Structure 1
Amino acid sequence: MIYTVTFNPSLDYVVKVDNFAVGEINRTQVENIYPGGKGINVSLVLQNLGLQSVALGFTAGFSGTEIERLLQKAGCRCDFIRAAAGYSRINTKIISDSETALNGQGPQLSKEELHKLFTKLQGLTQDDILVLAGSIPASLPDDIYEQILELLQPACTRVVVDATGDLLLKVLKYKPFLIKPNHEELGEFFGRGPLLNEEDILAAALK
């Protein structure tokens, strides 16, 4: 089975506004609400490709309930841990002449709630694939991805990591099955700007 982990899922409220004006009352022309977060996006794409996955992570409050409802409506399997404090974040994206985003913080996660996730992950085997994707909330330790890779070493579970900066660099010693930096992130690893030509991208990827 493929499992995805989204530590800080969101409801993405996307609106289109003609001539958005700061400090004024603006009326929307189009409104849509989507479940968001990189791991959730992976589960949705897999579902569209006819592949089953299980979406793991944390949800909280009414917004968390709606995230799970929308995922289940799309045919995705969910096994989220319900956090006791706060709400799953709501990200607002305003599309006008340019795009403006306002991202929420997400819930506070306790050690007990994090332990519940680790207990679920301990059941994975070498036949499973785990996708770790996206940012982590401030209430979690910044080495959380490393902890998970170390936990799964004995089981030989294949792990895919899609993250930025140190979150990704620090897990390389555990030899994840696959990593997915984009051209900007790949350039940052080597103290450069975005890699824009194929030769530079290939050289950095091989390194």
Structure 2
Amino acid sequence: MIYTCTLNPSIDYLVGLEDMKFGSLNRANKTAFYAGGKGINVSRVLKSLGETSTALGYIGGFTGAFIQDQLEQAGILQDFIKVTDPTRINIKLKSGIETEINGIGPMISEEQKYELFEKISALTSEDFLILAGSLPPAVSPEFYGAIAKLCFEKKIRLIADTSGEALEAILQYEPFLVKPNEHELGELFNVEISSIEEVVFYGRKLLEKGPINVIVSLGSKGALLINKDVVAFANVPKGELKNSVGAGDSVVAGFVASYKKQSEYLEAFKYGIACGSATAFSLDLCDKDSVRKLLPEIEVKTIG
């Protein structure tokens, strides 16, 4: 079974405007609400790909109830922990350029942290746990590290899509996959990365810290997969960028969905890039048909 864990989910409120004028009344020409948060996005993409997953994490209030209702309607399994504070709302403004305003997440008690550990403890070495997104207020990066340690001890295959101190906290516990972008990779080593050769160099240095696989996304320039056996580059197909929200989550979902079926890294990498691209070319997250159409346009080249 695939489990996704979103510690700080959200309602994503998309607002379309012709022209944003600060200090004046603005009227939207398009609005939409989605159950959001990186792990929840992964569960939504997995569902569209025909894979079952269970969504874990913390939700609360009327906004949390909305997320539960949306996932239930989509047929996505869920096992959330209820908290007192309402789940946050993130605003995505689309007016020429895309602007995001992310809300503040809920407070998480020590008892609620322990409750999540109990749920993860029930997983086995046959399971995948996708830990994705930001931390709620007053939750330290060491919390991610504690979850990673638990997964390491129980041989649960952990996929982590986070950055900064939270990412550093998990590396020693040999996560199955981490997925920084080139800027996040540079931040880990306090350097500015400006070439694919530098991405390969620092991606290998990241691999030495513990992960089994590293995917580094390069935006429109493509992506790299790095593990102990191979360094591979995948191009991104041509298309109109309509939505950057959830593209990285779609890469993770596609990679795990493919690897679960075939246990083949390069095919999983290719499928993940197709999913990420399909989301970028859509107004919402990708679907199976759009992914299938893009697959022939993606070429994976071994470069080391």
Question: TM-score band (shorter)?
Answer: over 0.9
Which one-letter code corresponds to 2:51 in the other structure?
L
Give the 3 Å change call, closer, same or farther, for CA 47–21 of structure 1 in structure 2: same
Secondary structure class of the residue paired with 1:68: helix
Which one-letter code corresponds to 1:97 in the other structure?
G
Q: Which runs of 5+ in 2 are unaligned?
A: 206-304
TM-score (norm 1): 0.94
After superposition, residues 32-71 of structure 1 pair within 5 angstroms as 32-71=32-71
- Which residue in 2 is equivalent to 1:104? 103
CA distance in 1, matches of 2:167, 2:106: 23
The counterpart of 1:205, out of the listed 198, 203, 225, is 203
Matched, 1:162 2:161: yes
TM-score (norm 2): 0.65
Matched, 1:116 2:112: no
Give the 3 Å change call, closer, same or farther, for CA 196–35 of structure 1 in structure 2: farther
Greater Cα shift, 23-32 or 133-142: 133-142
After superposition, residues 137-156 of structure 1 pair within 5 angstroms as 137-156=136-155
- Structure whose residues are more often helix by fraction: 2
Shift of 1:181: 0.8
- Which residue in 2 is equivalent to 1:77? 77
Which one-letter code corresponds to 1:32 in the other structure?
A
Which one-letter code corresponds to 2:204 in the other structure?
L
Q: Structure 1, residues 68-118: CA drift from partner, whole Å, max 9, x if none?
A: 1112222211111111x2110001122113222221112111111121111
After superposition, residues 20-39 of structure 1 pair within 5 angstroms as 20-39=20-39
Secondary structure class of the residue paired with 1:28: coil
Q: Identity over the aligned pairs, expressed in percent?
A: 43
- Which residue in 2 is equivalent to 1:15? 15
Shift of 1:189: 1.4
CA distance in 1, matches of 2:88, 2:164: 22
Secondary structure class of the residue paired with 2:35: strand
Q: Which runs of 5+ in 1 are unaligned?
A: none
Secondary structure class of the residue paired with 2:154: coil
CA distance in 2, matches of 1:158, 1:87: 31
Matched-pair contact (CA < 8 Å) for 2:105–2:137: no
Greater Cα shift, 195-204 or 38-47: 195-204
Q: How many residues align?
A: 205
Shift of 1:196: 4.2
CA distance in 2, matches of 1:98, 1:53: 33
CA distance in 1, matches of 2:143, 2:101: 25
